[in-house]
Chain A
Amino acid sequence: MNASDPPQTRLPYRNFQDGVLPPNFCPSYVSSVKRAPRQPLVHLPQTISELTGPIFTPPENIRPVDLTKGSHGEALGERILISGQVLDEDGRAVAGTFVEIWQANAAGRYLHARDQHNAPLDPNFTGCASLVTDTKGRFAFETIRPGEYPWRNHHNAWRPAHIHFSVFGPAFATRLITQMYFPGDPLLPFDPIFNSVRSKAARERLIALFDWETTVPEYGLGYRFDIVLRGSHETPMENKL
């Protein structure tokens, strides 16, 4: 089956393995205490409703996105390049999926009314973009390395540098919102959001790899960030209700 063809028989997606999903209720992440549900979740069988979702006709090739070009000039900070592929657990490319990215600027400040961090805004950096993966599930963008920023979760709390990612995947069941981190960030061991994920392997998947292939000589460092969505079961959909 060509990855860009819509599946003729819709297969249910595999369950997440133990420890991979962060729990919604996580007291070290203070905002979760009043917002996360406490009742056990009710099992939702995967029906056609959960197995469908909006899908794009994928472009033949990557259309690179550039966040560094502002309306008055170049954004300030360290220019970086990020490339990756959206795949499923079986290694199949997820073509034609919509990806949104947003991030702080080099000084650790978001272009957002509620961000009161005393760091400068950059008139040439909005910190957001969207793209569609190509027929091989690939994407690439150029941006500014985001700064770390303080938050009020606990005394002297700082978020490690990160870029927010929103990925639709082929179905409602694969909808993903996550964050990409940078290798070697000294704040990672102290971050309650990153460490809410119990599985070490799952945490490490959120860290981009420094990548010579993506690095452009005399221009900018490159990072590789592959996003792996749930794979399908091999047996056709059965309704377990």
Chain B
Amino acid sequence: MTEQKNPESLGKAVPQGLSVTTYQTVGPYFKIGLEALYRGDLTQPNIPGQVIEVSGTIFDADLIPVPDAVLELWQADSFGRYMDQPEKNPFEDSFGFGRVPTNEAGQFRFRTIKPGAVQAETPARQAPHILVSIFMRGLLYRLITRIYFSDEPGNANDPLFRSIEPGRQDSLLAKGDPVQPHRYEWNVYLQGENESVFFDL
């Protein structure tokens, strides 16, 4: 901690120790700060795998779409590996991070490579999934959830997915379009009968 040199200020300095910094809402005006890093297309020519598109809507307690939310994504590549080595610009030079806002109709959309089953973990490897953080005015902390895919048989053996009560598992599933199987729909319900599963981490 910096020493306060001026005796006048000594009594006013707040002892901070190393207690953790807490969260505050992203507020209504985050666009000016966060827009530069909007990434709705995670695909890159040198990253192999199946290109998919995920879209959906965020609904509030009254099923009114939320037009001012931002979602952040973090995912493994198609081999189930996370690209988390230090890079000159990890948002440009490696794969796995995305950030998309909702539009006026509360909808978001992103294009990516379908993640593979996450490797080398005990006791079981994890089914393909994307981690999601959601920020918006009205949320003081963040919402943490995961997107799984309805066409993945491995979901039944995924330790986390399996631990969710069956009636609520559906909210974690992106549903493949029967006609265009590379398109998935995944909606978020903030409250109510169909409230999505949110995690504490």
Contacts and interface: CB of A to CB of B under 8 A. Distances in A.
Interface of A: 4, 6, 16-17, 20-24, 26, 29, 31-39, 41-50, 52-58, 87, 89-91, 96, 98, 100-102, 104, 110-112, 114-115, 126-128, 130, 164, 166, 171-173, 175-179, 183-184, 193-194, 196-197, 199, 201-207, 209-214, 224, 226-231, 239, 241
Among B16, B20, B97, residue most surrounded by chain A Cβ atoms (within 10 Å): B20
A175 B33 contact: no
Q: What are the 8 A-B residue pairs with the smallest beta carbon separation, nearest first?
A: A102-B33, A31-B138, A44-B199, A35-B138, A54-B90, A22-B140, A41-B200, A241-B159
B25 interface: yes
Contacts of B21: 176, 178, 202, 205-206, 227-229
Given A22-B24, A206-B22, A47 B61 contact: no
Given A48-B121, A55-B85, A127 B32 contact: yes
12 contacts: A22-B141, A37-B196, A46-B201, A48-B121, A50-B201, A90-B18, A164-B27, A166-B33, A178-B23, A178-B24, A202-B20, A204-B16
Interface of B: 1-6, 9, 12-14, 16-34, 36-37, 60-62, 64, 66, 68, 72, 74, 76, 82, 84-91, 94, 96-97, 118, 121-123, 126, 129, 131, 133, 135-144, 159-160, 163-164, 190-191, 195-201
A230 B19 CA distance: 9
Contacts, number: 271
Contacts of A126: 32
Contacts of A130: 33, 36-37
Give the dominant DSSP class at B's interface: loop
A34 B62 contact: yes
B23 to A, nearest CB: 6
Contacts of A231: 20
A44 B200 contact: yes
Contacts of A54: 74, 84, 87, 90-91, 94, 96-97
A114 B67 CA distance: 12
Contacts of A226: 1, 16
A114 B28 contact: yes
Nearest to B22: A202
Nearest to B3: A213
A224 B2 contact: yes
Nearest to B130: A49
Among A4, A47, A197, residue most surrounded by chain B Cβ atoms (within 10 Å): A47
Given A47-B118, A91-B18, A239-B121, A52 B140 contact: no
A163 to B, nearest CB: 10
Contacts of A44: 144, 160, 199-201
Given A22-B23, A37-B190, A128 B32 contact: yes
B18 A241 contact: no
Contacts of A21: 22-23, 141
Given A35-B190, A211-B2, A52 B20 contact: no
A193 B85 contact: no
A209 B13 contact: yes
Contacts of B195: 37-39
